[in-house]
Amino acid sequence: MVPIDYSKYSSQDLLDVKENIDAEKYPERYQRLCAELELRHKNGELDQLEDEDEDEDDEDDFFIEFSSEGKGAGRILFICAFVLANLAVLAFIIPKYIVTDIADMHKYNATIDFIECHKEEILNEETERVTTYFDLIIGVDQDAFSALSISAKRCKTIANNLSVGTEVSIWHEEGLIHQLASNNRTLLPYQYMKPKVRKLKADSVDIYWVGLLLLWVLSFKSLVNAVIPGTFTADKEA
């Protein structure tokens, strides 16, 4: 077997190999590997690698230190900025989970110009699973109203029973149907649509929750220092 020339590999690669090599199964390889690492240690190459790792750790673990002396204007400013950033994100996220009560919505009486039960298939490329959605689309003049992700049976039944020229009552927000009725008969009840509307509105906020979590992770030590100066310092982290 041709011996491995460890001198051709980087120090980081050699350290990775040392962690995974079976010393008992390959004693000669292990000895040559240790000899090469020892040589590089004497040359200072490993020390340089450790310094680079420490620098990377220092960059990743960034935080702000505050002095306990004075009036603490910087600390107060940081805390206020942190609180305002959280409130701004929450002010955007929380309304997405709130569905307007039917009593507070305007009932729109209209004549149907167009109606369709639209079927859409979405392929999940990771699982290769196809999910089918049924959306009821109602056109009135130049406006379109949608009841999204309802059951296939309900969608097809309503589309078949309602035709162009039929009078309907629609409770909606920005074209999203919250309740649908015709001839004093409720076809899409508010209680049926409410969780669907909430899910549709909240689907887009996951990225903001991640952003808020990232804000806490990055700012936690600085926030603690702003409240209790000196809790985290560069000397302690070293």
Residue 17: per-residue pLDDT: 79
Per the CB < 8 A criterion, the answer to whether 231 and 224 are in contact is yes
Q: How many domains does one find in the chain?
A: 2
Instruction: Note whether residue 237 is domain-resident.
Output: no
Say if 66 falls within a structural domain: no
Q: How far is CA 137 from CA 45, 118, 140, in A?
A: 68, 7, 10
Rounded distance between C-alpha atoms, residue 7 and residue 127, angstroms: 44
72 inside domain: no
52 in the same domain as 111: no
Backbone conformation region of residue 160, classed left if phi is above 0, alpha if psi is from -120 to 50, else beta? alpha
* Together in a domain, 111 and 178: yes
Q: Which residues contact 104 (CB under 8 A, 6 or more apart)?
A: none
Amino acid 58: pLDDT: 47
Is residue 53 domain-shared with residue 111, that is, in the same domain? no
In a domain, 169, yes or no: yes
CATH of the domain at 146: 2.40.50
Q: Is 176 within 8 Å of 99 (Cβ atoms)?
A: no
Q: Would you state the torsion angle of the CA atoms of residues 37, 41, 47, 49, taken in this order, to the nearest 10 degrees?
A: -30
User: Do the domain assignments include residue 86?
Assistant: no
In a domain, 75, yes or no: no
Q: Which residues of the chain have pLDDT under 70?
A: 1-3, 46-61, 235-238
Taking 3-state DSSP, the helix, strand and coil percentages for the chain, each rounded to the nearest 5, stand at 50, 25, 25
How many Å apart are CA 140 and CA 109, to the nearest integer? 10
- Same domain, yes or no, for 112 and 40? no
Judged on CB neighbours under 10 Å (0-12, 13-18, 19+), 147 is buried
pLDDT for 144: 94
Domain presence at residue 22: yes
Residue 196 and residue 126 share a domain: yes
Alpha helices in 94-188 (DSSP H): 152-161
Domain residues for the domain of 144 are 107-202
In a domain, 179, yes or no: yes
